A = this chain, B = another copy of it.
Amino acid sequence: MASEKYVKSMQEMRTHFGDAADNWIKAIHDIYPEFAKVNVEFPFGDLYRRDVVDDKTRELCPVAALTVQGFALPEQKVHVMGALNTGSSKAEIIEIITQMIACCGFPAATNTLHAAKEVFDQIESTESEN
């Protein structure tokens, strides 16, 4: 049975990523429940519990960070979704990705720009279905 910490952290994770949170963690849980447990509890139970920084900033910063990291496109898509869910506009997200060119050059930023576009398209296509 899930601990209280896990349940609360999972709720916090859902406020960032919506349904994507559950799908993401389920896929990890199927491989290794211990990885899933820390993936929920550590960021969302230990790191994000302080009010020092608002959630919008908390989700825009990983978009910047994963842009620079270059290889983390599946995770970047989740954070782009997270940025949209916590109050960033599409315009702000692609502006921050563009700004990152100064930190990481064009290759990493370009890969991220296309990944962000995929998220935007997917949302639009889901919305137009409803």
- A interface list, Cβ under 8 A from B: 27-28, 30-32, 34-35, 38-39, 41-43, 46-48, 50, 52-53, 57-58, 60-62, 64-72, 74-76, 91-92, 94-111, 113-114, 116-117
Contact = CB atoms under 8 A, between A and B. Distances in A.
Q: How many copies does the complex hold?
A: 6
Contacts of A28: 110, 113
A28 B64 CA distance: 18
Contacts of A31: 94, 113-114, 116-117
Contacts of A32: 94-95, 98, 113
Nearest to A75: B107
A110 B52 contact: no
B102 A42 contact: yes
Given A31-B113, A94-B32, A96-B61, A71 B71 contact: yes
